[in-house]
């Protein structure tokens, strides 16, 4: 970002990239035409942060706080990130899950102003020109969605834009990626949510979703328009329907710097959680049996990454995949079923049908169950009790988002397992007091993975993102949990130190990028210092 603002006077106060509000010094006010436009007091960034905290305390709901912070991001970017990075554990649930789910559902009714880019399918043939309207030329990270499978909430159309905006805020707040490198994108291909189509306030195209060759051509045009306009950019695919997510990733992963966070980011944070659980259990990954509740992109993505990690401990890929099982609305996913997708087939095994999940637990005797079903309460008391009979330390991961979709709560998992469960969820839960101990639930949030991966990619100029980078990131995350945290049940680094954890993970990932010859620059002598040198800090520059 240039050190000096590109505007002055009244316009400068409405440019969030450079606005400092009451922190402009007397010399800056004189030089930049701001005299008379601001109150007389000169205030520090710290005082401004304190004011924001006070204003937030006066609000009644998390959604109101989300909207307030969104407005702050739109008027003073530095102050916004100073607030978030000062207390990430407090603010992550406000700017992303679980609050972002409600924000996306009500996006059209609370719309304040544009942020990011909206690329409609009606503009096909012109996406290259539309992307040129973005004011920043050095875009390095694009988070893009078509709004079809937003969290566990389904098709929210243009309202899905809340996801790319929120994800990129976390790139900066939790990974130190400078915000001017980030671009949120909504690909508007219509919506099949008829309640939205009938809502006069809906902001997206009023048509049903484009499918088939036209959709594929639109995606391809978008990718090539990005490559032409922002040749150093990494594309992160977010919340696409399963039948689109896997083909898109397969089509571009070997030729473009790209990844799918629902498939690969979720997989890496789940693998990190398993590595953390294995530190408690003192067992090997290759000896685990995993049962997934859900058989979509998230489940198969996690299963594939776990399988690849198991091969690093000596199993063949076939043996590793045989230790990962899927369960969906029709029961255990077996090889004789005729409705399997290509990405499900590697995990469809020979087994008699089992119509209920507790029966599947008893039949397969998994060491770990992972919920990615988006259906709440399916990890019922009989399921948890069965896991506790089979395992001394059952691993229970209800990862569905938002909180209302979680397969069970932390308290349920701890109580029904007699306090023996190793627990992590997709959305946050409060600590649980049980048996004279305070048990701290982990949150298997992708925020442990994608911001760190992003900083590593930014620092190294990585040209591709192979699967092994996600395994490296997962190991790096798990290794940062202290023994005392493990004793309390926590298997992820505490979110209060997420930036430091991300910087450490980024350095480990960057090391592998250099090792694999994927970097666009020579290997530095001190990779850790090199990576940290790219990290953004919310500090006002001096203008003039």
Q: What is the DSSP letter of 241?
A: -
Using DSSP's 3-state secondary structure scheme, residue 410 falls into helix
Both tokens of 159, joined, read 């309202």
Beta pairing class for 432-434 and 437-439: antiparallel
DSSP for 423-482, please give it: EEESS----EEETTEEE--EE--GGGTHHHHHHHHHHHT-S---HHHHHHHHHHHHHTS-
Q: If you write DSSP's letter for every residue of 483-536 in order, what string do you get?
A: HHHHHTT--S--GGGHHHHHHHHHHHHHHHHHHTT--SSPPPS-HHHHHHTT--
H helices of 134-241, in order, are 162-175, 194-197, 212-229
Among the listed residues 66, 80, 96, 171, the single catalytic one is 96
CA–CA dist 248, 187 (Å, integer): 14
CA distances in angstroms from 490 to 24, 129, 327, 421, 435, listed in the order given: 43, 48, 27, 11, 17
Chain position carrying tokens 């922002």: 230
Closest CA to 444 of 422, 425, 471: 425
The conformation of residue 392, written as its DSSP 8-state character, comes to: S
- CB atoms closer than 10 angstroms to residue 247: 16
- Distance, in Å, from the CA atom of 508 to the CA atom of 448, rounded to the nearest integer, reads 13
Q: How far apart are the first and last CA of the chain?
A: 16
Q: Which residue has the tokens 């919506």?
A: 191
Six token digits for residue 224 = 């090539």
Burial of residue 230, with CB atoms counted within 10 A of its CB: 0-12 exposed, 13-18 middle, 19 or more buried: buried
Q: What is the per-residue burial (b if ≥16 Cβ within 10 Å, else e) of 356-391?
A: ebbbbbbebebbbbbbbbbebebbbeebbbbbbeeb
The yes-or-no answer on residue 96 being catalytic is yes
Structure tokens at 230: 């922002």
User: Which among 65, 167, 414, 492 is annotated as catalytic?
Assistant: 167
Length of the chain, please? 544
Which residues are catalytic, by number?
96, 167
């Amino acid at each position: 970002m240039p050190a000096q603002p590109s505007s002055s006077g009244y316009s400068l106060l409405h440019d969030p990239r450079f606005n400092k509000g009451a922190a402009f010094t007397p010399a800056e006010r004189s030089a930049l035409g701001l005299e008379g436009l601001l109150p007389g007091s000169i205030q520090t960034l710290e005082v401004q942060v304190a004011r924001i905290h006070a204003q937030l305390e006066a609000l009644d709901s998390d959604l109101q706080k989300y909207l307030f912070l969104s407005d702050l991001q739109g008027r003073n970017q530095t102050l916004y990130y100073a607030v978030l990075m000062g207390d990430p554990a407090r603010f992550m649930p406000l700017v992303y899950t679980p609050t972002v789910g409600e924000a996306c559902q009500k996006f059209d009714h609370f719309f304040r102003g544009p942020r990011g880019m909206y690329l409609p399918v009606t503009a096909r043939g012109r996406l290259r020109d539309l992307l040129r309207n973005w004011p920043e030329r050095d875009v390095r990270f694009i988070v893009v969605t078509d709004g079809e499978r937003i969290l566990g909430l389904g098709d929210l159309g243009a309202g899905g834009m809340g996801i790319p905006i929120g994800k990129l805020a976390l790139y900066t707040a939790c990974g130190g990626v400078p915000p001017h490198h980030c671009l949120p994108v909504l690909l508007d291909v219509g919506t099949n949510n008829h309640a939205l189509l009938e809502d006069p306030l809906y902001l997206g195209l009023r048509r049903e979703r484009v499918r088939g060759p036209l959709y594929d051509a639109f995606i391809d045009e978008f990718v090539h328009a990005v490559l032409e306009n922002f040749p150093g950019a990494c594309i992160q695919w977010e919340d696409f329907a399963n039948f689109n997510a896997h083909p898109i990733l397969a089509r571009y992963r070997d030729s473009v710097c790209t990844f799918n966070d629902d498939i690969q980011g979720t997989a890496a944070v789940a693998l990190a959680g398993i590595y953390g659980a294995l530190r408690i259990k003192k067992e090997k990954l290759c000896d685990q049996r995993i049962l997934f509740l859900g058989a979509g992109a998230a489940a198969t993505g996690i299963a594939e990454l776990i399988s690849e990690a198991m091969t690093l401990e000596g199993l063949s890929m076939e043996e590793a995949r045989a230790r990962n099982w899927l369960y969906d609305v029709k029961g255990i996913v077996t090889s004789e079923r005729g409705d399997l997708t290509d990405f499900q087939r590697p995990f469809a095994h020979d087994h008699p049908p089992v119509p209920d999940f507790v029966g599947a637990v008893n039949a397969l005797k998994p060491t770990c169950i992972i919920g990615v079903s988006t259906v709440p309460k399916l990890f019922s008391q009989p399921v948890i009790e069965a896991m506790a009979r089979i395992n001394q330390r059952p691993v229970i991961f209800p990862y569905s988002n938002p909180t209302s979709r979680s397969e069970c709560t932390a308290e349920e998992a701890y109580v029904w397992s007699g306090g023996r469960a190793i627990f992590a969820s997709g959305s946050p839960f409060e600590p649980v007091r049980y048996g004279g101990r305070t048990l701290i639930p982990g949150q298997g949030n992708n925020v442990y993975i994608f911001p760190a991966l992003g900083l590593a990619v930014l620092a190294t100029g990585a040209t591709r993102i192979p699967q092994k980078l996600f395994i490296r990131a997962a190991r790096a995350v798990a290794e940062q949990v202290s023994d005392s945290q493990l004793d309390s049940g926590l298997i992820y680094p505490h979110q209060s130190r997420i930036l430091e954890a991300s910087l450490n993970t980024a350095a480990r990932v960057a090391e592998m990028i250099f090792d694999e010859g994927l970097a666009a620059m020579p290997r530095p002598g001190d990779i850790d210092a090199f990576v940290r040198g790219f990290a953004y800090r919310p500090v006002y520059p001096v203008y003039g």
